[in-house]
Structure 1
């Protein structure tokens, strides 16, 4: 609410309908980074304005930098690769650790997550990118109750690379002999390594 009013919103109870510019209000609400979409409608007969908001839902949270102030809001990552903060607190999310803690690595992780199939995003329990750009994903894909499955994706993954490596991963997990594995290296999709 305070974010809207600091942006100049006129949406308050009792404001005459004719004084509300729906396009301006929609733009103000859309600028809030935790909002995925917004619809605003005016009903002259009932005298009401309807606001429908869909908030972004995070799949992961960036690990706090050691130098970050305690009051800093956590930065979340949605499945579509959008990074945002939210007035809500989310728990039990995968943690993203960045080797270089650079903007370039944040973008690389966002693009990687946006290109992952939904079932792999859902199984994500941790994501790490090394100083050299190698992505290591922790997941509960095996649902064995153990510490999980580590998946090394390599560095510089394009959307096509992620798609191919995801299919290879699913194929490997479907094999009965791979039910007890703890690590898969997909750096080279044509010759994955299973441990």
Structure 2
């Protein structure tokens, strides 16, 4: 037997072995009952039925007995992330125990607003508007500060969302201690909050120049002579008024 024939024979055997292993692995992952879903867990939200219904509507809900390899984790994350009341979704697969885990992070509201037909929407700390959906979100609605718009305008709510979203970390306590935000008919944003249990009313004016207004407010609150102020007018950031 020539040396060349031996090499070709060896390569053929190795190739055949690889094909058999690949076919066996494909069967094990895709058709064998050895690697099937044995448990589906949804954590972080009590709305399990609602979440599964949404997945079922797209024919991607994981089910017990389904091949683990055929569970589309990315599609599950994508579909559930489309719900505005959900902040984050992580889906994982446990090959050893046969588990699928769907970890939900619900949005946490810091304020609420009424829009057309008295529908309630919420704001989270990043200024994202969402519809309170889960029991966790609904049960605290009466305790949330109210955001009201004289014009009942979506633009007004979008401006408030921008204000909350861009609030710098050193002023975040203004949101944590928020009592109310109102938008006048002319678009002025008025915030009622507290500093060290002391009420403070801030007139942000229009949403323009908001970064400059943040800087001006932070500087004003650092001044010892302003430790007892109750009002700040930032509508003209170059000429702020304190009382």
Alpha carbon RMSD of aligned pairs, Å? 2.1
Equivalent in 140, 160, 170 of residue 218 of structure 2: 170
Write out aligned runs for 1:56-95 (5 A). Answer: 56-63=107-114, 67-68=117-118, 72=119, 74-86=120-132, 87=134, 88-89=137-138, 90-91=140-141, 92-95=143-146
User: Counterpart of 1:124 in 2: which secondary structure?
Assistant: coil
Is the 1:135–1:155 Cα contact (8 Å) retained in structure 2? Answer: yes
Segment of structure 1 superposing worse, 44-53 or 10-19: 10-19
Is the 2:115–2:152 Cα contact (8 Å) retained in structure 1? Answer: no
For the residues of structure 1 that align with 2:167 and 2:82, how far apart are their CA atoms? Answer: 26
Segment of structure 1 superposing worse, 124-133 or 111-120: 111-120
Residue in structure 1 matched with residue 22 of structure 2 by the alignment: none
Matched, 1:139 2:193: yes
| Greater C-alpha Rg | 2
User: Counterpart of 1:75 in 2: which secondary structure?
Assistant: strand
For the residues of structure 2 that align with 1:180 and 1:174, how far apart are their CA atoms? Answer: 11
User: Counterpart of 2:179 in 1: which secondary structure?
Assistant: strand
TM-score (norm 2): 0.68
Write out aligned runs for 1:92-171 (5 A). Answer: 92-117=143-168, 118-144=172-198, 148-157=199-208, 161-171=209-219
TM-score (norm 1): 0.83
* Structure 1, gaps ≥5 residues long: none
Residue in structure 2 matched with residue 182 of structure 1 by the alignment: 230
1:64 deviation in Å? Answer: 6.0
* Structure 2, gaps ≥5 residues long: 1-47
- Describe the superposition over 1:109-132 as per-residue Cα deviations: whole angstroms up to 9, x where unpaired: 111111112233223221111111
Matched residue count:
184
For the residues of structure 1 that align with 2:148 and 2:63, how far apart are their CA atoms? Answer: 41
1:40 deviation in Å? Answer: 0.6
Equivalent in 82, 96, 99 of residue 45 of structure 1: 96
User: Counterpart of 1:172 in 2: which secondary structure?
Assistant: helix
